[in-house]
Chains A and B, each alone.
Chain A
Amino acid sequence: MKAKSTLARARLSQRRTGEPAVGESAQLPGARPGFGAAIAFELTKLWAVRSTRITLAVMVLGQLSMAWLLSFSAKASGDNGYEAVMPAPFIALVCLNLAQLFIATVAALSITSEYSNGTIISSLQAVPVRTRLLGAKAAVLLMLGFVSGVALVGAGTLIAAPVAAQYGRFTIGELLLALVGGGVYLGLLAVMMLGIGVLLRSTAGAISSAFVLLFGLPQILPLFALDWLQALVSYLPTTAGQVLGTGALEPYGTGTAALILVIWAAVLLGAGMWVFHRRDA
C-alpha cells in the first residue's frame, strides 16, 4: 500500500513537471483555498490567543462600569436640577471613548504580535498573496469591531436606561442610530489600527499612535491659533464617530461622518497594504 502511494506520487510529480503552470498538490482532499480560507485562518489566530479574549472581557467590564457611572451621574445631576438629559444609547456611545482603546489594541496586536513573535513567517507561507492576507485581517477586524460596537452600545443602554431613568429616555430611532453608529465606528477604527500596525510593525508604536490620534490630537489641535488646525479636529475619527452615532447635525451630517471614517480607514489600510506588499517580511 505504501508502494502504491509512492508510485502515485511519482506519477503525480511527473505530470506536474509536464504542466508547470499548475502548482497545486492533489495529495490531500480539499478545495482550492481562497479568501474564505484566509478569513478562517485569521479568525482562528485572533480568537485562539488568550490576550484577545482577556482584552475583550476587560473592555466589556469597562463599558458596563462607565455606563453605570455616567448614567448614575446624569440621574444625580438631573435630580439636583441640572440640565442632564441625554438618551441612554448616547450615554452608551460616549462610553465607547474608553472601549475604543481595547479594540484599537486588539487590532494593532493582530499584526504587530505576528512581527514580534515571528508568526508572520508562517502566515505568509500559508497565504503568500499579501493583499489577501491583510485583506482577510481587515475583514475579520471590521467584523469584530462592528459586533463589539453594537454589543457595547446595546449593553451600555441596558445599564444606562434604568439607572438614568427619566433623564435617559430615548426613541427607537436614537437606539438604532447609536447601535449602528457605534458598530461602524469601532469596525473602521479597527481597520485604521491594522493599517498603523502594518506601517509601524511595533506594538508600542501602534498603541502610542492610537493615543495620539484618539486623545492627543483632539486636545492639542484647539490650542493652536490657526483656524484650519482647529477645524481639523472636526475631521478626526473620534469627532466623526460621535456625529455618526448621535445623528448630530454639527459640524456635519451622518453621511459626511461615515465618509470621513471610511476615508481614514481606506487611507491607513491602503498605505499599510502598499508597504506590506513591497517590503520584505
Chain B
Amino acid sequence: MITLENLSKSFGSTLAVDSLSFEVAAGKVTGFLGPNGAGKTTSMRMLLGLDAPSGGRALINGVSYGQLAAPLRTVGALLEPRTGHRGQRADSHLCGLARSNSIPVSRVRAVLEEVGLAEAAKRRIGTFSLGMRQRLGIAAALLGDPEVLIFDEPVNGLDADGVAWIRGLMRAKAASGATVFVSSHLMSEMQSTADHLVVIGRGKLLADESMDNVLAASAQNSVIVASPQAGELATALQRAGYTVVAASEGRLKVIGASPEVVGGIAHTMGVRVNELGGRQASLEQAYTELTAQSLDYVPTRIGESS
C-alpha cells in the first residue's frame, strides 16, 4: 500500500506538487493521470526517496522508502527507461541489483525470460533499442518479486505487442494481490488497465475515484431527448438544474443527466417523448474536463456532485 500525506514539492517559487494526499490500495491497478508537468514523476520520485519532499510524507507499507530493509524486494519501480551503464551487459546489470538486495542471482535469468530478453542477456545495454531498455527496466522492477509496483509511463517505446504484454502483466500482478501504481498520459490505455484513478493537475489532486465513478460523473455524459414539446421540456430541465442544448429541430441534449432523470421529468409533465438515449463519455473526455478545470485551480471531487 502507498500513502501520500500532504506531500508537497517546490522548486524555487514553483509549487510542483501541492499538498497531495491519497492512498493506493493493494490488489488493484491504480492509474495516475495528469497533463505533462502536473507533478506525476516528481511525486513518484519522492515516493522512491530520490527527491526530498518540501512538506508532507510519502510512505510505502507505512514507512518511507529509505527505511525499507530490502527495497527491491518490496518495491519494483520503473522510472527512467535510460537506466544501466551503456557498457554493461544486461544480465550483469541485473546481477548487481540482485546482489545489492540479497536476491538470489537465479532470479536474473527468470526475469529476463519473463520480459522476453533472455536472448539479449549477454548484450551490452548500449546496443538496446528504447523498447528493449524499457523491458530491461521492467525486468529490474520485477527482480525482487515485489508486492508494490510503481511504473512511470511504462508503455513508452513499446510496440503494440509490448503494450498488450505490460497491460496483462499489471492486471496479473494486481490480481495476485500486488499494489500497482502506474502513471500515464494515454487515457485510452488507462481505460483498459486501471481499476482506480488518481488525477492531478498543477500538483493538486483533482480526482481520486474508481474508474466507473470518473466515467459516470463526466459532464459529457449526456442524454439526447426528442419531443414535440421540446421547449417546455427544456424549461423544466433547466429548472431542475441541467444544462440543455438544442441538438436539432425538436431534439435536446441534456448535459450531465441520465436517461432515467430526463424520462422521469418528461413523465411527470405528461410530455410525449419520441427518442431517449444516454451517451457515456470516454475516459478521454472525462479527463479533458478534469484537467481543463485544473487551469483555474478548482479541485473537484467527482461523484459528490451527482
- Residues on A close to B: CB < 8 A? 2, 5-6, 9-10, 12-13, 16-17, 20-25, 27-33, 37-38, 40-41, 44-45, 48-51, 113-114, 117-119, 121-122, 124-129, 278, 280-281
Contact = CB atoms under 8 A, between A and B. Distances in A.
Contact of A50 (B87, B95, B100, B107): B87
Nearest to B92: A48
A281 B77 CA distance: 15
Contacts of B65: 128
B83 A20 contact: no
Interface string B137-176: 0001000111100000000000000000000000000011
The 4 closest A-B pairs by CB, nearest first: A20-B62, A41-B100, A44-B96, A30-B102
Interface string B73-104: 11101011011111111001101110111111
Given A33-B102, A281-B50, A28 B69 contact: no
B63 A117 contact: no
Q: Chain B at the A interface: mostly helix, strand, loop or mixed?
A: loop
B301 to A, nearest CB: 26
B176 A9 contact: yes
Given A17-B1, A44-B96, A280-B51, A25 B74 contact: yes
A117 B86 contact: yes
B116 interface: no
A278 B62 CA distance: 23
Interface in B220-241: none
A117 B84 contact: yes
B11 to A, nearest CB: 9
Contacts of B95: 44, 48
Contacts of B79: 121, 125
Contact of B84 (A27, A122, A128): A122
Given A17-B61, A25-B146, 15 more contacts: A9-B178, A21-B62, A23-B62, A27-B145, A27-B147, A33-B70, A37-B99, A40-B96, A41-B97, A45-B88, A50-B87, A119-B85, A124-B48, A125-B77, A126-B96
A118 B82 contact: yes
B254 interface: no
B15 interface: no
A167 to B, nearest CB: 43
Contacts of A48: 85, 88-89, 92-93, 95-96
A129 B63 contact: no
B142 to A, nearest CB: 11
Contact of A30 (B70, B88, B140): B70
B50 A124 contact: yes
B49 A128 contact: yes
A126 B73 contact: no
